[in-house]
């Protein structure tokens, strides 16, 4: 296994994000998806962490299984919200002892309906420092092209992203549908003296309702032109909608690749088809 920055130095990276399944049916779906997508020889795979630690053990076990038993480099997501520092230290040490070398340090959000303490670490930059102090990890952070919904302004979010990326190794973006958002982010970071790799997070718009909901939650624009194309395909059924989503995600990736993006992270939602089709279109 390896540190992700070493893998990124080899050229355009292609990675897949998975979430720990909730039940046996989900486990079977994810097993099929991993089996299918591992044929693409991903640079690494990334495993999400449920809000407030709701998937604490499941995320750990999936990361360790993928990394240590499937021969793929796996990165664990970890969030500050609703955790004590001792909780986070224990999780990081557990990963270190299991041989995991890559962690995505996130601020996170409290779970819906949660009314406990907010968490001892307020921002992801504090988690980056904590991880650095506990082992020889490569550390990634999130970046928000549009920007993050809790930000007081675009400039403030760019400042905070530059600060945290300066102390981390690489960033992965929230999803976006127009390349200009990514280029604006990367330019703003460069203006602040930060040129570390920023991997583009890619979410194919394969379901109108799901994308509209996620875009609103994450602060990503769901552009009218894209909504119009997806609604126009709706009468022909879900496969036609998915085809539009795949086509537009392919165009977005091509535009980013033409400007030397270091890599793509596909948010698979544990399903292989759309990601496989985009990879086919891109020749990855």
Which token pair is 84?
């004590």
The smaller minimum CB distance to ligand FAD, of residues 153 and 283, is found at: 153
Q: Tell me how far apart the alpha carbons of residues 177 and 163 are, in angstroms, rounded to a whole number.
A: 25
Burial 262-271 (b: 16+ CB within 10 A, else e): bbbbbbbbbb
Closest approach of ligand FAD to the CB of residue 123, in Å: 4
Q: What is the 3-state secondary structure (H, E, C) of the chain?
A: CCCHHHHHCCCCEEEEEECCCCCHHHHHHHHHHHHHHHHHCCCEEEECCCHHHCCHHHHHHHHHHHHHHCCCCEEEEEECCCCCHHHHHHHHHHHHHCCCCEEEEECCCCCCCCCCCCCCCCCHHHHHHHHHHHCCCEEEEEECCCCCCCCCCHHHHHHHHHHHHHHCCEEEECCCCCHHHHHHHHHHHHHCCCCCCEEEEECCCCCHHHHHHHHHHHCCCCCHHHHHHHHHHHCCCHHHHHHHHHHHHHHHHHHHHHCCCCEEEEECCCCCHHHHHHHHHHCC
From 17, 101, 126, 248, the catalytic residue: 17
Tell me the angle at which helices 224-234 and 208-218 cross, rounded to the nearest 10 degrees.
Answer: 160
Closest approach of ligand FAD to the CB of residue 5, in Å: 16
Q: Report the interface residues with ligand FAD, using CB under 6 A.
A: 48-49, 51, 77, 79, 106-109, 123-125, 142, 148, 150-151, 156-157, 160, 164, 172-174, 201
Q: Does residue 35 have an active-site annotation?
A: no
Q: Tell me how far apart the alpha carbons of residues 73 and 16 are, in angstroms, rounded to a whole number.
A: 11
Residues classed as catalytic: 17
């Amino acid at each position: 296994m390896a540190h992700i920055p070493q893998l990124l130095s080899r050229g355009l990276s292609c990675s897949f994000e998975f979430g720990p399944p909730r039940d046996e049916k989900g486990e079977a779906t994810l097993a099929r998806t991993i089996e299918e997508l591992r044929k693409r020889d991903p640079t690494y795979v990334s495993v999400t962490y449920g809000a407030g630690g709701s998937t604490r053990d499941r995320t750990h076990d999936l990361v360790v299984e993928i990394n240590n038993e499937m021969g793929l480099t796996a990165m664990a997501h970890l969030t500050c919200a609703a955790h004590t520092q001792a909780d986070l230290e224990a999780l990081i040490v557990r990963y270190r002892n299991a041989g995991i070398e890559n962690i995505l340090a996130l601020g996170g959000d409290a779970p819906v309906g949660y009314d406990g303490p907010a968490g001892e670490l307020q921002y992801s930059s504090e988690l980056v420092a904590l991880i650095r102090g506990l082992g020889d990890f490569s550390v990634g952070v999130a970046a928000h092209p549009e920007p993050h919904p809790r930000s007081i302004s675009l400039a403030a979010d760019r400042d905070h992203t530059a600060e945290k990326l300066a102390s981390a190794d690489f960033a992965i973006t929230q999803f976006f549908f127009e390349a200009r958002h990514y280029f604006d982010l990367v330019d703003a970071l460069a203006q602040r003296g930060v040129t570390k790799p920023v991997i583009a997070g890619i979410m194919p718009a394969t379901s109108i309702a799901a994308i509209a909901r996620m875009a609103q939650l994450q602060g990503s624009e769901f552009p009218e032109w894209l909504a119009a194309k997806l609604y126009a395909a709706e009468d022909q059924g879900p496969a036609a909608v998915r085809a539009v989503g795949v086509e537009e995600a392919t165009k977005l990736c091509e535009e980013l690749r033409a400007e030397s993006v270091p890599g793509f992270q596909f948010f698979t939602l544990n399903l292989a088809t759309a990601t496989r089709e985009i990879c086919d279109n891109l020749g990855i």
